[in-house]
Amino acid sequence: MQALPLPSSRPVKTTCPYCGVGCGVLAIPGDDGQWRVAGDPDHPANLGKLCSKGSALAETLSPDDRLLHPLIGNRPVSWDAALDAVARGFSDTVKRYGPDSVAFYLSGQLLTEDYYVANKLMKGFIGSAHVDTNSRLCMASTVAGHKRAFGSDTVPGCYEDLDQADLIVLVGSNAAWCHPVLYQRMVANRRDRGARIVNIDPRVTATTDQSDLQLSIAPDGDTALFEGLLVYLADTGKLDAEFIARHTEGFDAALNAARRGRGSLTSLVRRTGLPAEQIEAFYRLFADSERVVTCFSQGVNQSGAGTDKVNAIINCHLATGRIGRPGMGPFSLTGQPNAMGGREVGGLANQLAAHMRFDAKSRDMVGRFWNAPNVAAGEGLKAVEMFDAIDKGRIKALWVMATNPAVSLPRADRVRDALSRLDLLVVSENMAVTDTSRLAHIRLPASAWGEKDGTVTNSERRISRQRRFLPPMGDARPDWWIISQVGRRMGFEDAFGFQNAADIFREHAALSGFENAGGRDFDIGGLAVLSNAEYEGLAPVQWPLRRQAGTERLFADGGFFHPDGKARFVAPAAPVADGIDAGYPLMLNTGRVRDQWHTMTRTGKSARLAPNALEPFLDIHPLDMDAHGLTEGGVAKVRSPDGGATLRVRTNEGVAPGNVFAPIHWTGVNASAGRIGSLVHGVTDPWSGQPASKMTRVRVEPLRIRAEGFILSRMDLDLAGFAAYWARFKVDGGWGYVVAHDRPIAWASWFPSLARQAEGDAVEYTDPAAGIHRGAVVGERLELAAFITEGRHDASWSAIAPLLAADALSTADRLTLLSGRTADARPDNGPVVCACLGVGRLQIEAAVRDGHTSIEALGVELKAGTNCGSCVPELRAMLRSLDVAAT
Ligand code: SF4
């Protein structure tokens, strides 16, 4: 493997590894040997901005919890031994059971080069198409919708459209939290140009804050809403007849179906759950705004009818010719940093490579290009099907790369059980322990962000470089290197002789342009001749890129990729009614929180990002909370037919009665029972195979809490058997845990048993009459502190947490340890609201009491909200509630 020397004294331009916005990041070396990050002002996606997650990237670079060496079982082995074992395991399985007995499960976190090599090995050389990716859970319905409408998986627009639109419609997209930098561009357009924002979401979210119209739609009501819009556009003379005639097919059929589906206004109101006047207000806005961008995201994709929803949206843009021109078009906001790159190489089981399908011509072409002996004959199993096949024993060997299916897939308990029955489970990972890697026979340490080179593609088709600025941690290696080494050991030396990421990128670019005379949308053939130095210096660029410059927008003048060059209107199928099951009366919606990413393996390492949401939670409307015997701040047991979770209860009037919401980030590593995937059912969209993760029927009941409190520990603790409910979060110097007990705590045995996990002298204070129990383990430093109160807990961990980061304890600190109160009156700032600048709720409340009663005044006084702006909706909500309280 060739590796270029690492820079030592200059900033390195790279790309954020989290969401699909794809922000440019400057990694800046400090004199102290530490790196810090800043937004890259030259990157077109973010123009120097970063959100709270991106701003905290430097805090995730520590060696803590990294997987540092290849392991077979729990035994460290050499790379040669590990790679031989993987190659032998896959070769033997194929020999014995055939190529369809093995599979790869990949990730939108991988770089395009990693993805390319994995796809080539499986689909060209092993001869199976069982390669799928966690992007199946994220945007597969958009891919299917694009292909049905455009004949290709093409995003027509670019981010500048969000600056230039007069109306931005967000559908199923909490962009304020999930695409924060892009959302700030939308908000700037609203502020500076007067653009309107319509937010279509069953929940009132942070995105609602800057919306002109909030449509709190019924789950899966979107198809009906956009079918109704198509009818409205036709009936009010807003169609672009020339565009429809010249560049599309199927309009009449789609309009007739929409008329039938829409029915009366009463039926539209019933199907969408929206008041008639709100529907009409939205339709008028859409009809009267030429420059409209409709952004859609997981709320559209993660549905049993996700592909139909995508097409219902696209139909309205095709009907008005509002596509591919400045400030207009349907726009899929991808969730992951490289979901698009995975689509480009063929990382989905129903794609071959370079946006090609499994037709005979494409198979022949790809086979000749790769000189591949064994091109897969047809589509492979999509994610949910793949894990069903593992469950049934049809797939015997699986290689999971950079993802955690034991947490994130629907029916996650069943997935976990199925993984444990594989003959061979290989996991390539950054982290030492995940729910999935716990089950692996072989663990391979993969290079993390900052240690590897390659490219990612963001939501606007922009390819950006991720660049290496750190040496690999331990024995870690780039994923492409690991896969290539296995390919060579399986007997395919010539096809996997890549020396560096640039070699792979050139081959990927050449394949995209191979025998491509414009008939395939994905073509970056112009980049196939980059030298290593040019690849190293590659500036962000949008595809298609057939010769030199990239392409901002497509389809303004037709040029779709169906054989006749025309787009297709697609009539959505009739909706399938969701029957209410009396045993499971609530509808569970799932999603993200502002400051965490996926299963928290990286963002969970930042103490700054933790406080905004310390625990897995259930948001519920107050009426349902009362009806189901829950209490604000209590703990709920949630059950679906497939599994269970135990979550902290939060009242949220933005969640409609009959619905609940829970975030996806907690795992078996950081919570007692926070894996939301274990609740989610296995229903998938018929076109895309994407799971309907936002609509699972559940029931809830209270967990009776007898005692609760917190633990702070320098070491990661094993809390199995120590509490009915616990959740772990990062603090400076170690870990914090919230714990709750559903039976009286036997402190006299509980604390000594816990204290044995730390080294030092144990001290205790208990007041059984008051139900107060406090203990600490102290050496030179604080090793562990536990505060438990019978009944509801009231001590604040934030007074104790700084002691864990201290190198030594003063006498006053030792007093604080058991009192829970700081002797020097260090203020408890409360839960963090502004993660970028560490401003807490109590600080904000104090500043408001002192007369700083606007967002601007709080920014001046505390700097809160002045970096990425993601907390501004929360600040605004606080101002409103404090104002109400004062009134
Ligand atoms: Fe990263 Fe935030 Fe930019 Fe997304 S918006 S790419 S998470 S900095």
When pLDDT is averaged across residues 514-534 and rounded to a whole number, the result is 95
Give the HSE-up count for residue 84: Cα atoms under 13 Å, Cβ half-sphere: 5
- pLDDT at residue number 884: 52
> From the CB of 23, is ligand 1 less than 6 Å away?
yes
Q: How many residues are there in the chain?
A: 887
Nearest CA to ligand 1 atom 4: 19
| Chain centroid, CA 13 distance in Å | 23
Ligand 1 closest atom vs CA 16: 1
- pLDDT at residue number 5: 61
Tell me what percent of the residues of the chain surpass a pLDDT of 90: 83
> From the CB of 16, is ligand 1 less than 6 Å away?
yes
Distance (Å) from CA 20 to ligand 1 centroid: 7
Alpha-carbon span 93 to 99, nearest angstrom? 8
> From the CB of 597, is ligand 1 less than 6 Å away?
no
Q: Between residues 312 and 881, which one has the greater pLDDT?
A: 312
Ligand 1 closest atom vs CA 22: 6
Distance (Å) from CA 140 to ligand 1 centroid: 21
840 confidence band (pLDDT: 50, 70, 90)? confident
Give the HSE-up count for residue 711: Cα atoms under 13 Å, Cβ half-sphere: 26
Ligand 1 closest atom vs CA 337: 6
- pLDDT at residue number 336: 86
Ligand 1 closest atom vs CA 25: 8
> From the CB of 180, is ligand 1 less than 6 Å away?
yes
Cβ neighbours for 765, distance < 8 A, ≥ 6 positions apart: 772, 773, 774, 775, 818
- pLDDT at residue number 174: 96
Structural contact between residues 391 and 412, judged by C-beta atoms closer than 8 angstroms: no
Q: Please choose from 15, 37, 47, 53 the residue to mutate so as to test ligand 1's pocket, defined by most ligand atoms within 8 A of CB.
A: 53
Cβ neighbours for 8, distance < 8 A, ≥ 6 positions apart: 29
Partnered with residue 66 across adjacent β-strands are 431
- The answer, yes or no, to whether residue 824 has pLDDT greater than 60, is no
> From the CB of 836, is ligand 1 less than 6 Å away?
no
Partnered with residue 708 across adjacent β-strands are 740, 789
Which tokens sit at 370?
């790769």
For residue 328, give the nearest of 58, 553, 608 by alpha carbon: 553
Alpha-carbon span 806 to 783, nearest angstrom? 10
Distance (Å) from CA 49 to ligand 1 centroid: 9
When pLDDT is averaged across residues 508-531 and rounded to a whole number, the result is 96
- pLDDT at residue number 549: 74
pLDDT in tens, 34-43: 999 999 999 9
Distance (Å) from CA 17 to ligand 1 centroid: 8
Alpha-carbon span 552 to 455, nearest angstrom? 19
Distance (Å) from CA 645 to ligand 1 centroid: 29
Alpha-carbon span 268 to 280, nearest angstrom? 11
Tell me what percent of the residues of the chain surpass a pLDDT of 70: 96
Alpha-carbon span 165 to 189, nearest angstrom? 8
Residue 617, Ramachandran bin (φ over 0: left; ψ between -120 and 50: alpha; else beta): beta
- pLDDT at residue number 829: 73
Alpha-carbon span 762 to 749, nearest angstrom? 13
Distance (Å) from CA 13 to ligand 1 centroid: 15
- The answer, yes or no, to whether residue 97 has pLDDT greater than 80, is yes
> From the CB of 22, is ligand 1 less than 6 Å away?
yes
DSSP 544-556: P-SSSS--S---T
Nearest CA to ligand 1 atom 2: 51
- pLDDT at residue number 782: 94
Structural contact between residues 823 and 741, judged by C-beta atoms closer than 8 angstroms: no
Per the listing, tokens 């979550």 go with 647
Distance (Å) from CA 51 to ligand 1 centroid: 6
Q: Please choose from 43, 49, 50, 449 the residue to mutate so as to test ligand 1's pocket, defined by most ligand atoms within 8 A of CB.
A: 50
> From the CB of 21, is ligand 1 less than 6 Å away?
yes
When pLDDT is averaged across residues 842-852 and rounded to a whole number, the result is 87
- pLDDT at residue number 36: 95
Ligand 1 closest atom vs CA 181: 5
- pLDDT at residue number 825: 46
Cβ neighbours for 720, distance < 8 A, ≥ 6 positions apart: none
Distance (Å) from CA 16 to ligand 1 centroid: 6
When pLDDT is averaged across residues 754-761 and rounded to a whole number, the result is 95
Helices (H) and strands (E) in the chain, counts: 29, 34
Distance (Å) from CA 15 to ligand 1 centroid: 9
Q: Between residues 419 and 883, which one has the greater pLDDT?
A: 419
- What would you report as the CA-atom Rg of the chain, rounded to the nearest whole angstrom? 27
List strands edge to edge, sheet with 24-29: 12-15, 24-29, 35-39
> From the CB of 19, is ligand 1 less than 6 Å away?
yes
- Start-to-end CA distance of the chain, whole Å, equals 68
- For the chain, the average pLDDT equals 93
DSSP class of residue 269 equals H
799 confidence band (pLDDT: 50, 70, 90)? confident
Ligand 1 closest atom vs CA 45: 3
pLDDT in tens, 276-324: 999 999 999 999 999 999 999 999 999 999 999 999 999 999 999 999 9
Which tokens sit at 416?
């976990």
- The answer, yes or no, to whether residue 394 has pLDDT greater than 90, is yes
798 confidence band (pLDDT: 50, 70, 90)? confident
DSSP 838-862: TEEHHHHHHHHHTT--SHHHHHHHH
DSSP three-state, residue 812: helix
For residue 257, give the nearest of 542, 570, 671, 677 by alpha carbon: 570
> From the CB of 27, is ligand 1 less than 6 Å away?
no
When pLDDT is averaged across residues 362-379 and rounded to a whole number, the result is 96
- The answer, yes or no, to whether residue 8 has pLDDT greater than 80, is no
> From the CB of 463, is ligand 1 less than 6 Å away?
no
* Axis crossing angle, helix 140-150 with helix 306-319, rounded to the nearest 10: 40
Q: What number of other Cβ atoms are within 10 A of residue 84's Cβ?
A: 15
Q: Please choose from 15, 19, 665, 871 the residue to mutate so as to test ligand 1's pocket, defined by most ligand atoms within 8 A of CB.
A: 19
Which tokens sit at 862?
């505390």
Alpha-carbon span 447 to 648, nearest angstrom? 35
pLDDT in tens, 576-598: 766 667 799 999 999 999 999 99
Ligand 1 closest atom vs CA 15: 6
CA-to-CA dists, residue 121 to 90, 115, 375, 468, 502, angstroms: 11, 10, 10, 25, 18
Alpha-carbon span 886 to 880, nearest angstrom? 10
Distance (Å) from CA 461 to ligand 1 centroid: 16
- pLDDT at residue number 814: 82
When pLDDT is averaged across residues 263-275 and rounded to a whole number, the result is 91
Distance (Å) from CA 184 to ligand 1 centroid: 11
Partnered with residue 643 across adjacent β-strands are 640
- The answer, yes or no, to whether residue 792 has pLDDT greater than 90, is no
Structural contact between residues 303 and 692, judged by C-beta atoms closer than 8 angstroms: yes
pTM of this prediction? 0.94
When pLDDT is averaged across residues 686-710 and rounded to a whole number, the result is 96
- The answer, yes or no, to whether residue 887 has pLDDT greater than 50, is no
Alpha-carbon span 21 to 245, nearest angstrom? 35
For residue 70, give the nearest of 80, 61, 60, 59 by alpha carbon: 80
> From the CB of 868, is ligand 1 less than 6 Å away?
no
> From the CB of 330, is ligand 1 less than 6 Å away?
no
Distance (Å) from CA 296 to ligand 1 centroid: 17
- pLDDT at residue number 66: 96
- pLDDT at residue number 457: 97
- The answer, yes or no, to whether residue 222 has pLDDT greater than 60, is yes
Per the listing, tokens 């907390």 go with 871
> From the CB of 39, is ligand 1 less than 6 Å away?
no
pLDDT in tens, 115-166: 999 999 999 999 999 999 999 999 999 999 999 999 999 999 999 999 999 9
Burial level of 211, CB count in 10 A (0-12/13-18/19+)?
buried
Residue 418: phi and psi, rounded to 5, are -65, -45
Structural contact between residues 7 and 469, judged by C-beta atoms closer than 8 angstroms: yes
- Give ∠ CA 41-42-47 in degrees, rounded to 5: 50
Alpha-carbon span 358 to 179, nearest angstrom? 33
> From the CB of 449, is ligand 1 less than 6 Å away?
no
